[in-house]
Amino acid sequence: MDFEDSPEEAAFRKEVRAWLDANATKRSGKREIDPEDMENGAAGEMAASKAWQKTKAKAGYARITWPKGMGGIGGTPMQSIIFSQEESKYDVANGAPFAIGLGMCIPTLMAYGDEEAKKRYVWPAVQGDEIWCQLFSEPAGGSDVANLRTKAEKNADGTWTINGSKIWTTGAQFSDYGIILTRTDPNVPKHKGLTMFYIDMKDPGVDVRPIKQASGGSGFNEIFFTDVKVKDSQRLGEVGQGWTVALTTLMHERLAVGGGQGGGLDVPQLMQLARELELEDGPAIKNAAVREKIADWYVRSAGLRYTTMRTMTALSQGKQPGPEASIAKIVVASKLQDLSAFAMELEGEAGILQGDGAPMGGAFQGGWLSAPGLRIAGGTDEILRNIIAERVLGLPGDIRVDKDVPFNKIPTGR
Amino acid sequence: MNFDFSDDQKMLKDQARKFLTEKCSTKVVRGVFEGGAHHDAALWKQVAEMGWTGTAIPENYGGLGLGYLELCVIAEEMGRALAPVPFSSTVYLFAEALLIAGSEEQKHKYLPKVASGEIVGTFARAEGPGAVLPKNIRTTLKGGKLSGKKIAVVDGPIADFAVVLAQTSEGAGERGLQLALVDLKGAGVKRTDCNTLDASRGHSDIVFDNAAAEPLGKAGEGWSDMQRVLDRAAILMAFEQVGGADVCLAMAKDYALNRYAFGRPIASFQAIKHKLADMYVFNELARSNAYYGAWALSTGARELPLAAASARVSATQAFDYASKENIQTHGGIGFTWQMDCHFYYKRAKETGLVLGPQRAWKDKLVTELETSNA
């Protein structure tokens, strides 16, 4: 048991460091940028992100595990992790705008698209020239993704016409293309009547409207499709096989997401606050209740950190990460919510302030505001618990009253 | 990076599990619980014969000299089996106290006997309810004589020797503390059986009245020596707790899959599924923290105290949660004596208190964080 690189890993790390030294500057406490911030007017960040993505793509570091010629070097998942670890020590632009496209959409396109489509779209996406989004969720869907109503109807000339709407689509406002799951047959059970396409987000029939969230940001969008025409060659997979295609996408999503750390707000920031604050009985850091809470959250963070290391070990041994990766999001999101709320409680009446005027620049208020979204996006805590229960522990699936019922006969409650 | 046990260590773990499944069924645990014995003597003899008691004791002191990672995998299996033997007190506490604070002479004298299973050892520190603090230690060590009273000493009824936290000079607090090594079969030692929650292990109140004792380590270093012993024991005990918590999850899952209510297995109800998913999450976090502790223990890393406190807190929480929700998942039958659920519930509390409560370890954890951030 050790934390050392294997000789091959060490050699790769050295190579990556040399490349980063030549192409980037060492980290100096840069601000993390997420797609939400970009929407809120950080256009310069987007340009910087695209430029850095292009630099990486040319060197084969944009998608390390992908084959040469597709933007990668045919590397291992471990090499990909090593690159991320080293990259995080440098002051480089954030790769968030490309995460969904490269993590989910393009792999789906690579699996189901025709040769022409691959030739046309993969490379521009890898080098950051084109951004993709994933159009799955709908207003009536919630966690029941397959309960979607956006229609794709086949025309006499073989083309398709899409009508309907999608929601909660991250980054749609700056996306060039999207993969879209549609209903092509409402007369069969819901999972059987779906078909996947890719579409041009700049099509005049596509209307993107950013949603203002409780946090004040607008990272998500609602999108309306009015008579959007797509060619049959834009279909991904067979007609009626859309759910199978979507599962491919979602499988890649799990590999791609792998547990964000909630904007980095964690125990060290809480300790910093506790050092600065005075409570009824003295410095907050000396308060027993505060210390207990810090310890509780620390063992969760540390437990996750070492769980990731166990996963990395499994990866380096050629094993695939299992659905146990789902635990990260459950832990991180609710910890962020509770820890932020506790910090605001310590701040007393100043806890209600937001932004620069709040203690520690409003970090905890920001965490508290984004936490409810984090607990929902990419699978709710409840769905993730179902995933652990069913796929890890092997417990039975939920009772499905909509099973084998034609989609248009499923009760909707309205 | 290789944050996992080696194939050899995993093989040792498999062997340990196989052995304990065969020799330490819950029938054996029940036998100790119901029979009034303080341990299962036959099992203890076999455990020693396999050399497990000497796993991490260096060869020149009569041990196998395998190492702490090997001891960790055995500890996990001991915890799974709820083995009613004085393994943790003898191996994690007594032997480690000797390794940390003993003179060469003491190590040569006692450790081979621990390794061979000839002696049972324990560690006595608490003198009453509440926190164990330097200022509250009233047991004295003077001129080779020990006087005072210790409570709820694990495996006290069957131990041959104890390491005892004692005060060498009146009112000196931490500066006067020293560890002492006492032959519990000698004159001036009176043991009284305690009535405890977890009857799979015996516990004693021990009164020392001018009992012969030899100093273990230096005067004034008793407190820090004890902390070092507790750190190591906390990591090993965390593996026992993780093992126990894993069994609770498996029991709950098995029951939920086979128990039907309202026409379907109760494992198909989300309320049950989510409970078991939470158990799994806690258990995984605890296992990962324990692995980090194992790494720190096996390498003697600077992070050992922080790793120990994290492993301790995380494993205690996981075992607590898994053992209580296992009973809840079983419903009424889970609360009956005939089921095994209560053995785990009780052991979870015993292991969670015996090296000091969570509160104390959480405080220590934050103290370590404060120093590491300074």
**Model confidence over A46-81: pLDDT tens digits?**
899 999 999 999 999 999 989 887 888 999 888 988
Confirm if A149 and A266 have CB atoms less than 8 A apart. Answer: no
**Alpha carbons A36 and A32: distance in angstroms, whole number:** 11
Q: Does B374 touch chain A (CB under 8 A)?
A: no
CB contact under 8 A, A303 and B289: yes
Confirm if B164 and B208 have CB atoms less than 8 A apart. Answer: yes
Measured from the Cβ of residue A223, the count of other Cβ atoms closer than 10 Å reads: 23
**Alpha carbons A357 and A361: distance in angstroms, whole number:** 6
**Alpha carbons A200 and A179: distance in angstroms, whole number:** 9
Say whether pLDDT at A4 is over 90.
Answer: no
Q: Does A174 touch chain B (CB under 8 A)?
A: no
Say whether pLDDT at A27 is over 90.
Answer: no
Q: In this complex, which of A299, A316, A389 lies closest to B274 when CB atoms are compared? A: A389
Q: Does B312 touch chain A (CB under 8 A)?
A: no
Lowest mean pLDDT segment, chosen from A33-47, A85-99, B285-299? A33-47
State the pLDDT at residue A165.
Answer: 97
**Alpha carbons B88 and A194: distance in angstroms, whole number:** 59
List C-alpha distances in Å: A148 to A152, A209, A360, B241: 11, 19, 43, 46
Cα-Cα end-to-end distance for chain A: 58
Confirm if B319 and B280 have CB atoms less than 8 A apart. Answer: no
Q: Which chain A residue is nearest to residue B360, measuring alpha carbons?
A: A292
Q: What is the average pLDDT score of chain A?
A: 90
The angle, 0 to 180 degrees and rounded to 10, between the axes of the packed helices B7-23 and B68-81 is 30
CA distance A121 to chain B (A): 36
Q: Does B309 touch chain A (CB under 8 A)?
A: yes
Cβ-based contacts of A397 with chain B (< 8 Å): 268
Strand partners for A199: A178
Q: Which are the contacts of A17, defined by CB distance < 8 A and separation ≥ 6?
A: A86
- Residue window 168-187, chain B: list those with CB within 8 Å of chain A: none
CA dihedral A299, A301, A302, A304 (to 10 degrees): 120
Distance of CA A333 to the CA centre of its chain: 13
**Alpha carbons A315 and A303: distance in angstroms, whole number:** 18
Confirm if A380 and B258 have CB atoms less than 8 A apart. Answer: no
Please choose, from the candidates A398, A412, A279, A261, the residue with its C-alpha nearest in 3D space to the C-alpha of residue A339: A261
Q: How many CA atoms lie within 13 A of B30 on its CB side?
A: 9
List C-alpha distances in Å: A178 to A64, A166, A252, A336: 23, 11, 16, 31
Lowest mean pLDDT segment, chosen from A26-40, A210-224, A286-300? A26-40
- SS3 state of residue B190: strand
State the pLDDT at residue A257.
Answer: 45
Q: Does A299 touch chain B (CB under 8 A)?
A: yes
Cβ-based contacts of A5 with chain B (< 8 Å): 1
Q: Does A315 touch chain B (CB under 8 A)?
A: no
Please choose, from the candidates A204, A247, A246, the residue with its C-alpha nearest in 3D space to the C-alpha of residue A391: A247
Please choose, from the candidates B180, B106, B183, the residue with its C-alpha nearest in 3D space to the C-alpha of residue B140: B180
CB contact under 8 A, B3 and A313: yes
Q: Which of A395, A398, A399, A401 to mutate to probe the B interface, most B CBs <10 Å? A: A395
CB contact under 8 A, A294 and B289: no
Could you tell me the two tokens for A173?
Answer: 């406002």
- For the segment A143-168, the average pLDDT, to the nearest whole number, is 96
Q: In this complex, which of B257, B273, B281 lies closest to A327 when CB atoms are compared? A: B281
Type and span of the H or E element at A279: strand A278-279
**Alpha carbons B368 and B374: distance in angstroms, whole number:** 10
Residue with tokens 């607590």: B320
Q: Does A221 touch chain B (CB under 8 A)?
A: no
Q: Which chain A residue is nearest to residue B251, measuring alpha carbons?
A: A393
CA distance B14 to chain A (A): 18
Please choose, from the candidates B319, B365, B101, the residue with its C-alpha nearest in 3D space to the C-alpha of residue B229: B101
Q: In this complex, which of A1, A292, A327 lies closest to B69 when CB atoms are compared? A: A1
Residue B164 is given by DSSP the state E
**Alpha carbons A166 and A187: distance in angstroms, whole number:** 21
- Count chain A–chain B contacts defined by CB atoms under 8 A: 160
Concatenated DSSP letters for B117-142? T---EEEE---SSS---GGG---EEE
State the pLDDT at residue B314.
Answer: 98
Please choose, from the candidates B331, B93, B335, the residue with its C-alpha nearest in 3D space to the C-alpha of residue B235: B93
Q: Does B264 touch chain A (CB under 8 A)?
A: yes
Specify the pTM. Answer: 0.94
- Residue window 358-397, chain A: list those with CB within 8 Å of chain B: 382, 384-386, 388-390, 392-397
Using pLDDT thresholds of 50, 70 and 90, give the confidence band for residue A29.
Answer: low
Measured from the Cβ of residue A27, the count of other Cβ atoms closer than 10 Å reads: 12
CB contact under 8 A, A303 and B286: yes
Please choose, from the candidates B41, B23, B50, B27, the residue with its C-alpha nearest in 3D space to the C-alpha of residue B85: B41
Confirm if B114 and B53 have CB atoms less than 8 A apart. Answer: yes
Distance of CA B350 to the CA centre of its chain: 9
Which residue ranges in chain B fall short of pLDDT 50? 374
Confirm if B92 and B237 have CB atoms less than 8 A apart. Answer: yes
Q: Does B262 touch chain A (CB under 8 A)?
A: no
CB contact under 8 A, B289 and A393: no
Q: In this complex, which of A288, A298, A390 lies closest to B369 when CB atoms are compared? A: A298
CB contact under 8 A, A303 and B280: no
Say whether pLDDT at A283 is over 70.
Answer: yes
CB contact under 8 A, A310 and B298: no
**Alpha carbons B227 and B316: distance in angstroms, whole number:** 18
Q: How many CA atoms lie within 13 A of A399 on its CB side?
A: 10
Q: Does A22 touch chain B (CB under 8 A)?
A: no
Please choose, from the candidates B300, B291, B99, B270, the residue with its C-alpha nearest in 3D space to the C-alpha of residue A312: B291
**Alpha carbons A147 and A186: distance in angstroms, whole number:** 11
**Alpha carbons B70 and B74: distance in angstroms, whole number:** 6
CB contact under 8 A, B285 and A299: yes
Residue with tokens 């190590």: B107
Using pLDDT thresholds of 50, 70 and 90, give the confidence band for residue A41.
Answer: low
Pairing verdict, β A132-135 and A177-183: parallel
Say whether pLDDT at A255 is over 70.
Answer: no
- SS3 state of residue A176: coil
State the pLDDT at residue A37.
Answer: 56
Please choose, from the candidates B20, B26, B39, the residue with its C-alpha nearest in 3D space to the C-alpha of residue B341: B26
Q: Does A252 touch chain B (CB under 8 A)?
A: no
Q: Is B237 buried (19+), middle (13-18) or exposed (0-12) by CB count in 10 A?
A: buried
Please choose, from the candidates B86, B17, B19, B97, the residue with its C-alpha nearest in 3D space to the C-alpha of residue B57: B97
Please choose, from the candidates A51, A35, A62, the residue with its C-alpha nearest in 3D space to the C-alpha of residue A92: A51
- Residue window 276-295, chain B: list those with CB within 8 Å of chain A: 276-278, 280-281, 284-286, 288-289, 291-292, 294-295
- Residue window 31-90, chain B: list those with CB within 8 Å of chain A: 69
CB contact under 8 A, A303 and B365: no
Cβ-based contacts of A270 with chain B (< 8 Å): none
Cβ-based contacts of A315 with chain B (< 8 Å): none
Say whether pLDDT at A40 is over 70.
Answer: no
Confirm if A242 and A250 have CB atoms less than 8 A apart. Answer: no
List C-alpha distances in Å: B163 to B38, B158, B212, B318: 20, 14, 12, 29
Q: What is the pLDDT of residues A290-339, one digit of tens each?
A: 999 999 999 999 999 999 889 888 888 888 776 667 788 899 999 999 99
The rounded percent of chain A whose pLDDT value lies above 90 is: 68
Confirm if B123 and B163 have CB atoms less than 8 A apart. Answer: yes
Q: Which chain B residue is nearest to residue A7, measuring alpha carbons?
A: B1
Residue B269 is given by DSSP the state S
Could you tell me the two tokens for B220?
Answer: 């004034």
Could you tell me the two tokens for B102?
Answer: 């003993």
CA distance A292 to chain B (A): 6
Q: What angle do CA B340, B343, B347 make, to 5 degrees?
A: 150
